[in-house]
Structure 1
Amino acid sequence: MGITTNSAAQARQRLGEVLAGITLTPAPTVVRTTKLESMSGDAFLNIRKNKLIPSYDLEVRVGWTGELTDGEGKVVGTATGKLHLPHIGDDNHDEDPEIQIVTDTNSADAERLKQAVHKGGKGPILEVLKKFVAELRAGGPALSEKDGGEGGNAAAAAGTSGGQGANGAAAAAGSAPKPKPGSADASSSAPAAAAKGGSGSSGRSISITARYHCRPSDIFECFTVEGRVCAFTQSRAVVQPAPGGSFSWYGGAISGEFVELVAPSRIVMRWRFNTWEEGCFSKVVIDISEPEHGSTVVKLKQTDLPTHDKFGNEDTADVTEKGWHSQVLQRIRQVFGYGV
């Protein structure tokens, strides 16, 4: 039996981020994309026999606006239109999708701008779509951090949208800590928290044991392969799987760095919620064993949990433990089909 997740809404959101504000052609015929006008079709993430199998067939329309300038930079003509991509599908993931260029008017200016895009303006769109398809096929749509370069405006958008905000993402990872009644905001409640003893660790710890039908390497990859983290969190993630490498889950709600990686049996991390006081980290040790063939046991121990978050809430241990159960360990079981 497999599991199928509908990813159409996330795909639409991600396309809206990456396709906005891309410069297609330089002066004197400057054309830029504006926004995702529409997306129709289906996108699913299927898990069959512990394998991610994406299935998608999308039709996309993106708005564009253009300016014609003279040799001195003066605008002498404008036009708008749409880029129509009739088929972005898993059946042609290794091919460039067709791009049809449509103008909103039949003016001479519109035709000149259209021809400029035809001649040399499709490359930036195709490059962005290659990254989008790679994310989709890695277990997404993966709302991952984007690098710079062409489409930089889309990269900036990914840092501020693409799912939940800071507290919203924290909610996805557990129960989002909130300021206590009477606290105006985080900055006003932080001094009160500091008065209780600062952000140092309390010595609190949690221990969790989970069992899966899979191999240890499958679980190890769920924490060390970016696409897999994106798949079970269904949100942005960054994973640099090496000692000293950083990680970020749920759009930055959880972050830290890897301290030790021994594939496929041990992971040690410095780990924190973004609602903890600045500079406060806990230690997470994940030991993975296979006492019987195909039956994997995960033992997780987290120490140095803070006594309270930056809002003064003192339930950090409970919130953290619930988050591990419901938003990490159980999601890995459901998304990848590793149920016991």
Structure 2
Amino acid sequence: MAKFDEKDPRWLVQDMGESGRNVNNWHWTERDCTEWSKQRLGELLSGIQLTAAPAATRTVKLESMTGDAFLNTRKNKLIPSYDLEVRVSWAGELTDGDGKVVGGATGKLHLPHIGDDNHDEDPEIRIVTDTNSSDAERLKQAIHSAGKKPVLEAVHRFVAELRAGGPALAEAEAEAAAGGAGADGGKPKLSSAAEVEREKAAKAAKEKAEKEKSKGGGKSISITAKFHCRPQDIFECFTVQGRVCAFTQSPAVVQPAPGGSFSWYGGSISGSFTELAAPGRIAMTWRFNTWPEDCASKVVIDITEPEPGNTVVKIRQTEVPPADKFGHEDTAEFTERGWHSQVLDRIRHVFGYGA
């Protein structure tokens, strides 16, 4: 037995570094995810097509987010704690039978409580108009009857990502995409609890994607859009890097040649060109960075001009995975909405090609 005030090596841990202070995330740790939450909600809730003509509405941007979000770890378990209030601006327009705009209005979507106590429920959405007009009331009713679903899907996606690791997940994804490595020179690492949640969802999604692929399956998307421009104008929107940066308003890389790669929205979407036949046809492989690894779809864009100055764009996307790596099974719906709100509508508004 050691004497009083004498150090007994049997009771000492020598050279205990950072990894030894919280082995296997046993002790309580806390990470502030508030800023990440604001950024992610801004990405997910911007530019969502809520309803179609004749009462077409879409979200514009995240106006405000108040509250706090934390991700705690104890005994290797993730314990999210968040209570958020969110306001999102929306805009809409009314059209007649010929597609002519006859009115419009703007407003806010108010989500008073997105919290860990109701993570498995649909949060309340209050629809507010900026004016008390008949147009505003008609668009409000359109959102109330058919426009809430895509907003709820975006919120549930945010909650699932937060509960799976939040900013730690995003950091690891970004580092891996950039070809980076962790301190040990290997794969970037999340906390072990976040890694477990992520791997479980990714494994299930990958198995489902492989099962669909073995059947020759995967989901398909068909979109037809009209523009007031020439086919070459649309062709360049997908093949000229400056134009892609303009309508996405974010970093992009475009190598317009068969086998050349492309990256939109800072790497959120990537792929490679397989065929370029100006100005009428573009074929490419295409994927979201949230899809299971080694999972890509095929996209063919046909561009025609049935009348001078009136261009028709037909997009056919096949082999869309049934679920992303977080386990969300709305990949086809989410992707189709993205084509409309984040690509086609933006091309119309930025370049003035509205039809």
TM-score, normalised relative to structure 2: 0.46
Task: Determine which structure has greater relative contact order: mean sequence separation of CA pairs < 8 Å that are 6+ residues apart, divided by chain length.
Answer: 1
TM-score, normalised relative to structure 1: 0.48
